[in-house]
Chain A
Amino acid sequence: MLNLWTRLGNKLRYLVRPGRIDRDLAEELEIHRDMLREDEERLGASRGAAALLARRRMGNTPLMIEYSRDAWVTRWLDTLVRDLRYALRSFVRSPGFTLTALITLALGIGANTAIFTILNSVLLRPLPYADPERLVMVWGLNERQAAVRPSGLIEGDVFDIRREARSFSQLEAFQANLVPITMRVGSTAFQAQAVSLTPGTFALLGRQAILGRSLQEGDRLAIVLGYGYWQRQFGGDRAVVGRQVTVGTTPATIVGVMPRDFAFPYRSMLLASVSFTRDADVDVWVPMTLQPRRPNDALRIVGAVARLAPGVTVEQARADVGAIGTRLAAEYPATNAGWGAIVSPPHDHVVAGVRPVLWLLAAGVGLVLLMACVNVANLLLARSVRRQREMAIRSAVGAARGRLLRQTLTESALLTAIGAALSWIVVEWLTRSFVLLAPSEIPRLAEVSPDWRVGIYTLLLALVTAIAAGWLPALASSRVDLQTRLTDASRGPASTRGARLRSLLVVAEVTLAVVLAFGTGLLVRSFVAVLNVDPGFETSHVLSVQVTTPRAYGTPEKRREFYRRLFARLEALPGVTAVGGTTRLPLGGADSNTRIAVEGRDTAHGAFDVGLRRAMHEYFTAMQIPIVRGRGFTAADGADAPPVVLVNQALAARVFPGENPIGRRMTLADNAGIGTATVIGIVGDVRHGGLESAPEPEVYIHYLQNPPSSPLIVVRTSGNPAALAGAVRAAVKEVDASVPLFDMKTLAELRTASMTERRFITWLALIVGAVALVLAMVGVYGVMAVAVGERTQEMGIRIALGADPRMLLALVVRQGVALAAVGIAAGAAISLVVAPLLATQLYGVAPRDPITFAGVPLVLLAAAAAACAIPAWRAARVDPVTALRN
């Protein structure tokens, strides 16, 4: 064992300084010869004879040095160095081939590494908390709902679970909503997205502030800033810690700033899936105090995060919390009937939604890399045909077959190694663009960074690529038929076997391209389907803006009066046709829920959790949401009038199947603020959760009966809504200059923004599909170009014999297209089988969509024909004289 190390060390020393040992040896041999000669002279030989004798005895000195070197250098290493040098020389000699192969490989490996970097950061790495495996989330679960989607808990539930659960060493609560707040520093007002949480959460998660401190037990009037907000609003000013601010109406102190990669709660832990908000976009953390149960509080907006007590498994915690949930449901049927409590690991919760997208994307770029391998293999093969004579000669002078095989593999390995090195430029660029352009639905983007896993992945990928691209060409080039090659390497119907192999590779490549093109086609079709979704309201010609009423409007009366004047002023603007307002805009805006109990039914069958919406003034007219039955709200439905509600069609169908809901009475939970109300009409369904999610049951209350304090005003105009922005701003200022405006946008913009994720996926699919198409075309082109090149003589003879050049053109195109057709058929067959894998990503289109299945083959056929154009044109243009002379 010891000897092995000595030997290895000595050999390494030789590798570092080979010249020294060779020189020593040469000098030594010279001295040896001199000694021999002197001895011969002493024995009486003449000077010349002695020298001759000595030389003869020494024999072949260079060879001896060579053999001596064998002791130092392992043979394979020496061969490797030689092969590498040879490969490098041959790359320099054919720059076109080298460049094409390198770019293909760099892009292929780069795209895969980039996707893996993201996949690794988002899906594989644990969440950036201390000991994240021991953390769990606690949620509520509506047992009556078909889809298992966790929802929030009532604050009192969390209070009881925290007190009773034995499975946790610590449990902390947070409001699972981003709350827009107004923060005043001196005289400047900032808008911020706040999350309130129990102060112990930071200690539970084990993350420190990068500046100042995080929240601690007992904090009441302290707030902590998010890194992004600190940078944006305060320019990264370190003096911000300790500054006094007012949050809403409460004074508070900024005590610290959290690091950039800290996110809690993650976007997917929020109940209202707040669109256009990234994970790390919590601007401010505000302390909350967990209150015991209040009667009739049914608001399910609190989430909990907990650390498992030592030795407790997730399963045990699940049973523990589940039992408490069951007990609470029995004890408080008014608010908890049908509700349970569940425990789930936070990582699952965060990444579950994005997992299929990322894996599909990884599969897509994986296939692209496979195509790149096939292309490089084809290039190597085409080159090895040209080098067959060289290989044959080397084989004839005694190069072993394994040696030739190794040489070709070395070339593909060197190409891949350089390609992989170059790919890092692509990786950097691709990863950054992805993070920048990705929609907020993809979690943990702030945490994307390469690590050791990415390094190992790239190495493995390069190794696999080198073998995939090199083994076929290596096998083909090492199997040299000496006689035919030496006598005739460049003429005649050369290398039919090589040609067949190349054709096979191209067929495989087209097959892969077809599979990818089908995926792209289906996603593009889904995109179009989403574009055509009717959201239930008219998005054109509407401007929306959020107004926040200051403290002066503390009572409902004052707010009613303010809105009356505001709407009157806005209606007077030229071009304005209708003005209204609501508290939650449709299409992926924030959500808010309430619980209704239908009068005359028992709690088990009469209670439903539904969306709570507010309609202000002429909201339905401004949005063009139809009243399908009954009547809409009027000014007569005021504060002193009997409470009334409108329900949407989904609610009517769910709660009152086969009945007429109009005139029925229902009691709403406290958060609606109107008690028991009568249904006066049914309005059309609106896609509240986004274009791709079906309408949910919703109940609308009238703003005069519970005036909101921070509504979204919508203004319909006959002209361009964006042009109205200045006028609206001025109008609000006229009514009250102290009312701040936020977030002015047109509903058309809202609709566009709500499609960000769909658009992003479609773009990715288009890029992957386009690259696949180009690679397939390059493959077809390459094979046809080589085929035409090999048959130049034959073409010449045909033309000399009077063949029509157009026929030759058709011949080449026909061959290329026939090749592609085989691949297309195979690809279509495979796609039929694998298309359902894509089902979760599709919208409004079946996985085996006939239009896609008809269109993709046509596109591929056209592409194949186009790829044959240049070789075909070259074939038709062959000059018979030159062709025959060669």
Chain B
Amino acid sequence: MRNKASISSELLPGTLEMLILKTLSRRAAHGYGIARHLEQVSADVLQVGESSLYPALQRLLVNGWVTAEWGETDTGRRARFYRITAAGRKRLAAEAAGFERVVGAIAAIMQEG
């Protein structure tokens, strides 16, 4: 427990899960693909460490927000693909709404003075 904070310290708690769900909402992907996608879209601002990615994926699995299945990549290599579930989409919507509120609030404070 005591190391959890340091793992995801770059992000607000719970944000990583939301980002993963957002990534998966476009299409199914494997762990590596998710990490690269997050880096590319954020223009390398968000470095998603593998050490936080996989625990986060496991939490999503436990909650039933994503499912995982072994399959093949375009290059014919074996990989585990994650797919968002209906419950996951609902969760994403809720998280996104909450995130916008928080970001809005933070922005308001920052612009104050």
CB distance from B4 to the nearest CB of A (A): 8
Query: In the complex, are the beta carbons of A57 and B78 less than 8 A apart?
Result: no
Query: In the complex, are the beta carbons of B32 and A35 less than 8 A apart?
Result: yes
Chain A residues closer than 8 Å to B31, beta-carbon distance: 28, 32
Q: Which of A63-71, A142-150, A557-565 contacts B (4 or more CB under 8 A)?
A: A63-71
Chain A residues closer than 8 Å to B40, beta-carbon distance: none
Instruction: Please report which residues of chain B, range 23-82, place their CB below 8 angstroms from some CB of chain A when the two chains form the complex.
Output: 30-32, 35, 49-51, 54-55, 57-59, 61-64, 68, 77-80
Query: In the complex, are the beta carbons of B61 and A71 less than 8 A apart?
Result: yes
Give complex CA distance A10, B64 in Å: 8
Query: In the complex, are the beta carbons of B55 and A57 less than 8 A apart?
Result: no
Selected contact of A71 from candidates B7, B51, B62, B79, CB within 8 Å: B62
Selected contact of A60 from candidates B35, B51, B55, CB within 8 Å: B51
A75 at the interface (CB under 8 A from B): yes
A532 at the interface (CB under 8 A from B): no
A568 at the interface (CB under 8 A from B): no
Per-residue interface assignment for chain A, residues 31 to 53, with 1 indicating a CB less than 8 Å from any chain B CB and 0 otherwise: 11001100000000000000000
Per-residue interface assignment for chain A, residues 1 to 28, with 1 indicating a CB less than 8 Å from any chain B CB and 0 otherwise: 0010011001100100000000011011
Selected contact of B62 from candidates A7, A36, A58, A67, CB within 8 Å: A7
Selected contact of B80 from candidates A7, A24, A57, A69, CB within 8 Å: A24
Chain A residues closer than 8 Å to B50, beta-carbon distance: 29, 32, 57-59, 64
CB distance from A389 to the nearest CB of B (A): 26
B9 at the interface (CB under 8 A from A): no
Chain A residues closer than 8 Å to B59, beta-carbon distance: 71
A72 at the interface (CB under 8 A from B): yes
Q: Which residue of A lies closest to B31 (CB)?
A: A32
Chain B residues closer than 8 Å to A28, beta-carbon distance: 30-31, 54, 79-80
CB distance from B7 to the nearest CB of A (A): 7
CB distance from A41 to the nearest CB of B (A): 14
CB distance from A32 to the nearest CB of B (A): 5
Instruction: Please report which residues of chain A, range 63-86, place their CB below 8 angstroms from some CB of chain B when the two chains form the complex.
Output: 63-64, 67-72, 75
Chain A residues closer than 8 Å to B7, beta-carbon distance: 67
With contact pairs A28-B80, A31-B79, A64-B51 given, residues A11 and B58 touching in the complex (Cβ less than 8 Å): no
Query: In the complex, are the beta carbons of B54 and A68 less than 8 A apart?
Result: yes
Chain B residues closer than 8 Å to A25, beta-carbon distance: 54, 58
CB distance from A7 to the nearest CB of B (A): 6
CB distance from A79 to the nearest CB of B (A): 12
Give complex CA distance A70, B35 in Å: 21
Per-residue interface assignment for chain A, residues 289 to 302, with 1 indicating a CB less than 8 Å from any chain B CB and 0 otherwise: 00000000000000
CB distance from A310 to the nearest CB of B (A): 54
Chain B residues closer than 8 Å to A31, beta-carbon distance: 30, 32, 77-80
Q: Which residue of B lies closest to A59 (CB)?
A: B51
Give complex CA distance A28, B30 in Å: 9
Query: In the complex, are the beta carbons of A3 and B64 less than 8 A apart?
Result: yes
Selected contact of B32 from candidates A3, A32, A59, A69, CB within 8 Å: A32
Chain A residues closer than 8 Å to B49, beta-carbon distance: 59
With contact pairs A7-B64, A28-B80, A32-B32 given, residues A64 and B58 touching in the complex (Cβ less than 8 Å): no
Bin chain B's interface residue count: 20 to 34
Q: Which residue of B lies closest to A58 (CB)?
A: B50
Chain A residues closer than 8 Å to B55, beta-carbon distance: 64, 67-68, 70-71
CB distance from A280 to the nearest CB of B (A): 59
B102 at the interface (CB under 8 A from A): no
Chain A residues closer than 8 Å to B97, beta-carbon distance: none
Selected contact of B51 from candidates A11, A63, A75, CB within 8 Å: A63
Chain A residues closer than 8 Å to B78, beta-carbon distance: 31
Give complex CA distance A315, B20 in Å: 73
B12 at the interface (CB under 8 A from A): no
Give complex CA distance A71, B1 in Å: 11
Q: Which residue of B lies closest to A54 (CB)?
A: B50
Selected contact of A72 from candidates B1, B54, B58, B64, CB within 8 Å: B58
B3 at the interface (CB under 8 A from A): yes
Q: Which residue of B lies closest to A60 (CB)?
A: B51
Query: In the complex, are the beta carbons of B54 and A6 less than 8 A apart?
Result: no
Chain B residues closer than 8 Å to A10, beta-carbon distance: 61-64
Give complex CA distance A60, B50 in Å: 10
Per-residue interface assignment for chain A, residues 455 to 482, with 1 indicating a CB less than 8 Å from any chain B CB and 0 otherwise: 0000000000000000000000000000
Q: Which residue of B lies closest to A4 (CB)?
A: B63
Q: Which residue of A lies closest to B49 (CB)?
A: A59
Chain A residues closer than 8 Å to B54, beta-carbon distance: 25, 28-29, 64, 67-68
CB distance from B58 to the nearest CB of A (A): 4
CB distance from B10 to the nearest CB of A (A): 15
Chain A residues closer than 8 Å to B51, beta-carbon distance: 58-60, 63-64, 67
B87 at the interface (CB under 8 A from A): yes
Give complex CA distance A57, B32 in Å: 12
Give complex CA distance A11, B64 in Å: 11
Chain A residues closer than 8 Å to B3, beta-carbon distance: 67
Give complex CA distance A10, B55 in Å: 15
Instruction: Please report which residues of chain A, range 852-883, place their CB below 8 angstroms from some CB of chain B when the two chains form the complex.
Output: none
CB distance from B63 to the nearest CB of A (A): 6
Chain A residues closer than 8 Å to B32, beta-carbon distance: 31-32, 35-36
CB distance from B30 to the nearest CB of A (A): 8
Give complex CA distance A14, B61 in Å: 11
Q: Which residue of B lies closest to A75 (CB)?
A: B1
Give complex CA distance A64, B79 in Å: 18
Q: Which residue of A lies closest to B64 (CB)?
A: A6
CB distance from A228 to the nearest CB of B (A): 61
Q: Which residue of A lies closest to B33 (CB)?
A: A35
Chain B residues closer than 8 Å to A32, beta-carbon distance: 31-32, 35, 50
Query: In the complex, are the beta carbons of B63 and A7 less than 8 A apart?
Result: yes
Query: In the complex, are the beta carbons of B63 and A3 less than 8 A apart?
Result: yes
The residue among A3, A29, A63 with the most chain B CB atoms within 10 A of its own CB is A3
Q: Which residue of B lies closest to A69 (CB)?
A: B58
Chain B residues closer than 8 Å to A71, beta-carbon distance: 55, 58-59, 61-62
Chain A residues closer than 8 Å to B57, beta-carbon distance: 68
Chain B residues closer than 8 Å to A24, beta-carbon distance: 68, 80
Chain B residues closer than 8 Å to A63, beta-carbon distance: 51
Give complex CA distance A14, B1 in Å: 20
Give complex CA distance A67, B78 in Å: 24
Give complex CA distance A314, B30 in Å: 76
CB distance from A415 to the nearest CB of B (A): 30
Chain A residues closer than 8 Å to B61, beta-carbon distance: 10, 71
Chain B residues closer than 8 Å to A75, beta-carbon distance: 1
Give complex CA distance A67, B57 in Å: 11
Chain B residues closer than 8 Å to A60, beta-carbon distance: 51
Chain B residues closer than 8 Å to A57, beta-carbon distance: 50
Chain A residues closer than 8 Å to B77, beta-carbon distance: 31
The residue among A7, A28, A63, A72 with the most chain B CB atoms within 10 A of its own CB is A28
Q: Which residue of B lies closest to A13 (CB)?
A: B62
Chain A residues closer than 8 Å to B79, beta-carbon distance: 28, 31
Query: In the complex, are the beta carbons of B58 and A6 less than 8 A apart?
Result: no
Instruction: Please report which residues of chain B, range 84-100, place their CB below 8 angstroms from some CB of chain A when the two chains form the complex.
Output: 87
Give complex CA distance A68, B53 in Å: 9
- Apart from A59-B51, A67-B54, 9 more pairs, CB < 8 Å: A3-B64, A11-B62, A14-B62, A28-B80, A29-B50, A64-B54, A68-B54, A68-B58, A71-B55
6 A-B pairs with least C-beta separation: A71-B58, A6-B64, A68-B58, A35-B32, A71-B59, A67-B55
> Can you list 30 A-B contacts with CB-CB less than 8 angstroms, sorted by A residue number?
A3-B64, A3-B87, A6-B63, A6-B64, A7-B62, A7-B63, A10-B61, A10-B63, A11-B62, A14-B62, A24-B80, A28-B80, A29-B50, A31-B79, A32-B32, A59-B49, A59-B51, A63-B51, A64-B50, A64-B55, A67-B3, A67-B4, A68-B54, A68-B57, A68-B58, A69-B58, A70-B1, A70-B55, A71-B61, A75-B1
Interface residues of A (CB under 8 A from B): 3, 6-7, 10-11, 14, 24-25, 27-29, 31-32, 35-36, 57-60, 63-64, 67-72, 75
